[in-house]
Structure 1
Amino acid sequence: MFPTEGSGGQAGPAPALCVSIHDVAPATWDECARLAAALREVADIPLTWLVVPQYHRGGGDPVRMEAGLDEALARGDELALHGFTHLDTAPRGPGLSERFLRGTYSHEGEFVALPANEAARRIQCGLDWFAARGWPVRGFVPPAWLMGEGAWQALRAFDFDYTTTFRRFHLLGSRAGAGSAATVLSPSLVYAARNRSGRLASPLLADVLALALARQPLIRLSLHPPDVRHPRLLRHAQATLARLLATRTALTKAGFAQQLLTSTVPSNRHLASSAHPIRRSTTDQPGAAPRAC
């Protein structure tokens, strides 16, 4: 557990806010760019863009997206690996909980049921895709925030600084201390834009959650391309950002990971040039050799 200021222990990281834009791909680029522009109408904060190398939905202009992300890196934003296809294609079991998780909750939990060797293959394919563009990457965020045991095993064989699930921010590898992951409780503020009841309820739930997390070291605001289609959600996100910035410093996720490790006053810019390269997985995986990307 990480102490916070006024907790009675040693002073820990100052309160932080991480804002991320999910599902970044050529097909979603226009909406993602509009989300970023709306946020910067409030404040010019560093953002974390969650990029999907081979997004399952086609369309869009890859060249324009890549130029936009180059500009984002140049201004101090972060790019994180967000799965590889963002689509759950593994066979499904008969259990009710699995049917709910992989059906009702999300059809896009790519890493929820993959064996370790396939999860490692997809992560490596994503890293190779980033490397081909000269983009640094320090974090991995699974689609729908879902990872099964195989994915966790695979992820720990790579040199990422962090991952996030819906409820927690996880430091990874030796940087977390004693080779195990340390976590910070930080359920994400997120909107359910795909249905009317979700659009009505999720802003209220986000307000309640932000209040409940007021004394926590991190609050995460997670935006998705469909959010930009609904002015009420966009206005709420802007108001939430303005309110949280009154008491918190905006950081990229990589910046927050570094803050946890150093326990120093945070910078509000995370320079991409400071990131170090990811090593390849060395996990001994059973079964057939991994397929090409």
Structure 2
Amino acid sequence: MLVLHDVAPETWPDYEPFVQAVDALGNVPMTWLVVPDFHRRNLLTQSPGFCQLLDRRLAAGDELALHGYAHADEGPTPRTPLDYFMRRIYTHEGEFYALDEHQAIARLQDGLALFDRQGWPVAGFVAPAWLMSQGTRQALRQLPLKYTSTPQHLYRLPDFTAIDAPGLVWSARSAWRRGVSRVLSDWQCRRWQGANTLRLGLHPVDMRHRYSRDYWLRTLEKLIEDGREPLTKSAWLERQVAA
């Protein structure tokens, strides 16, 4: 499963050359994790051209999933060392890490309403940085979504049934992080060689560096050469349900 995180009008220039390269490989459906108002400065409805692009991707067989609403942690100041680490060191974008159930439902419904206005079907929600509070989990049990995910699992909703789906992801903000990510990803690929599925979780920052961008393209090419079938998250999940 090839998954593009943090999809928004301002991140599309990062992704565009990579998406063109993937399209050149043939039929490789992708799951686009779409942020309705990225960092409160990229409201999708104010970018009709980008929305038309997403319409075309849907028509071509790709999937759009809801990826937070603003992809920014707008909560109060962290009160515990753990919360400080998760919300200020690990990431500043854990939008759903500290939300209570009411807050989470409101934000999720806002995102789903935007998808509905655009006529976009949506089966999945992925929290920014995969961080979900207990309130967020309770909210997801009440909404018409089919799945959510963490780095190593997809969860069938509303009961949060866990399905193994290991994933590769890079930290590409600096040269040393990219080097460590390459070593770790190579090790994980060997470890998961016999796994039924593998997710490639890409981020805009990966696309800004040739080293990481080329890695993802080569990895995708190799998986296809090895006989792996590319699927969207929804298509893959439907097969697990049928089985």
- Matched ranges for 1:183-202 at <5 A: 183-202=162-181
Q: Which residue of 2 aligns with 1:145?
A: 130
TM-score by length of 2: 0.93
- Superposed displacement of residue 158, structure 1: 0.8
Q: Is 1:25 matched with 2:8?
A: yes
RMSD over aligned Cα, in angstroms? 1.6
The structure that has the greater radius of gyration is 1
- Superposed displacement of residue 165, structure 1: 0.9
CA contact (8 A) 2:147 2:154 kept: yes
- Matched ranges for 1:122-137 at <5 A: 122-137=107-122
Q: Which residue of 2 aligns with 1:289?
A: none
Q: Which residue of 2 aligns with 1:154?
A: 139
- Matched ranges for 1:11-160 at <5 A: 18-56=1-39, 58=41, 62-160=47-145
Question: Whole-Å Cα distance in 2 between the matches of residues 164 and 25 of structure 1?
Answer: 20
Q: Which residue of 2 aligns with 1:6?
A: none
Q: How many residues align?
A: 240
TM-score by length of 1: 0.78
Pairing partner for 2:198 from 219, 224, 235: 219
CA contact (8 A) 1:38 1:234 kept: no
Letter in 2 for 1:142: A
Q: Could you say which structure has the greater relative contact order, defined with CA pairs below 8 angstroms and 6 or more residues apart?
A: 1
Question: Whole-Å Cα distance in 1 between the matches of residues 202 and 126 of structure 2?
Answer: 14
Change (3 A) 1:43 1:141: same
- Superposed displacement of residue 57, structure 1: 5.5
Question: Whole-Å Cα distance in 1 between the matches of residues 15 and 116 of structure 2?
Answer: 22
State the secondary structure of the residue aligned to 2:166. Answer: coil
Letter in 2 for 1:167: Q
Q: Is 1:181 matched with 2:164?
A: no
> How many percent identity over aligned positions?
39
Greater fraction of residues in helix: 2
CA contact (8 A) 2:66 2:122 kept: yes
Question: Whole-Å Cα distance in 1 between the matches of residues 206 and 121 of structure 2?
Answer: 27
Question: Whole-Å Cα distance in 1 between the matches of residues 193 and 144 of structure 2?
Answer: 31
CA contact (8 A) 2:78 2:87 kept: no
State the secondary structure of the residue aligned to 2:198. Answer: strand
Question: Whole-Å Cα distance in 1 between the matches of residues 242 and 191 of structure 2?
Answer: 26
Letter in 2 for 1:214: Q
- Superposed displacement of residue 29, structure 1: 1.7
In structure 2, stretches of 5+ residues that fail to align are: none
